[in-house]
Amino acid sequence: MSDNKPSITFFSTDSIECPVCGKLFRVEKMRHGRGRLVSKEITDELRRVYEPTQAYGEVIPIHYSITVCPDCYYAAYQNDFLSLKAPEKESLLGKRKDRKDTIHEIFPDLDYIKPRREKEAAASYYLAMVSYELLNPDKAPTIKQGLSALRAAWIFSDMHRKFPNDNYDYLSTVFYKKAAYLYNSALRKEFAGKERVSETPGLGPDVDKNYGFDGVLYLAALLLFRYSDYSNQEEKIEILRNAKSTVARIVGMGKKMKSKPTVILENARDLYNEIGDYIKAYEAENGTTENQA
């Protein structure tokens, strides 16, 4: 973080008590106001790009979405942080050492008492992922893990651009793959009635706009297409056929389209065509055709 810039965050006056370990701490929050954020384009991963300003430098709002206990490293989105049931607290307390040891292998000197640096931000999403693993299905933990993996991948890519020799691109890819798995796993749970993804607030994926369940459908397919590993080409084509129908749910319904944001429709249409072309190229090469059910 630059030394001469005014702070873009502040710490809450009142402390909160960590529901897992009892530590009292003040929560870091972002200041909102004129000139701090200059929005630019949105990427095809639905990430908002912000232009650094002279006064504040680079400001990335997703750095501050996760509340992290500075002592036991329990981490969750702000709205979930305090709402733990007894068995959840117990499991989170039991995994306290695991959480700390694992993240310290990547970042040995994390500090959640001082203003967050990029590494605390990236680590906060990893810590949220392992914390949500222990939370009840009523908190829709799988999609929150997926969203956390995606944002971790974004922050690691930012770090790679600044420090190209530190292997952050490797970490970014690892988290993109996790996100691909988790988004699709969350969708399966939604369709099986196990977790209510579609009713979850704050699906983002960035903080500037919530694309809701359409965003989840779109990202599930995009991440699968771009980042997933496959054991062979036939498996990949089979999975991509499903991904294509997932995207079709967003773009397919002509009359409903008007109510949807242009960004998601345009991106979904592009992705639908891109996956379609990929499948066609495979079929042309192998003399097979898509089995239209």
* Residues near Zn ion, by CB under 5 A: 18, 20-21, 23, 69, 71-72, 74
Min dist CB 283 to Zn ion, Å, is 54
Answer whether 241's CB lies under 8 Å from 278's CB.
no
Q: Which is nearer to Zn ion, 21 or 27 (CB)?
A: 21
Q: Which is nearer to Zn ion, 69 or 279 (CB)?
A: 69
Q: Specify burial of residue 226 (Cβ count, 10 A radius: 0-12, 13-18, 19+).
A: middle
Min dist CB 15 to Zn ion, Å, is 12
Min dist CB 145 to Zn ion, Å, is 19
Measured distance CA(6)–CA(8) in Å, rounded: 6
Answer whether 205's CB lies under 8 Å from 146's CB.
no
Q: Which is nearer to Zn ion, 24 or 38 (CB)?
A: 24
Measured distance CA(134)–CA(90) in Å, rounded: 10
Q: Which residue has the tokens 């988790």?
A: 182
Residue 254 structure tokens = 């002509």
Q: Specify burial of residue 75 (Cβ count, 10 A radius: 0-12, 13-18, 19+).
A: buried
Q: Which is nearer to Zn ion, 85 or 280 (CB)?
A: 85
Task: Compute the CA torsion angle 155, 145, 105, 177 (nearest 10 deg).
Answer: -70
Min dist CB 93 to Zn ion, Å, is 8
Answer whether 117's CB lies under 8 Å from 1's CB.
yes
Min dist CB 91 to Zn ion, Å, is 13
Answer whether 218's CB lies under 8 Å from 267's CB.
yes
Closest among 171, 82, 63, 178 to 124, alpha carbons compared: 63
Q: What is the H or E stretch that residue 223 is in?
A: helix 212-227
Min dist CB 126 to Zn ion, Å, is 16
Q: Which is nearer to Zn ion, 102 or 173 (CB)?
A: 102
Q: Which is nearer to Zn ion, 111 or 234 (CB)?
A: 111
Q: Which is nearer to Zn ion, 74 or 183 (CB)?
A: 74
Min dist CB 73 to Zn ion, Å, is 7
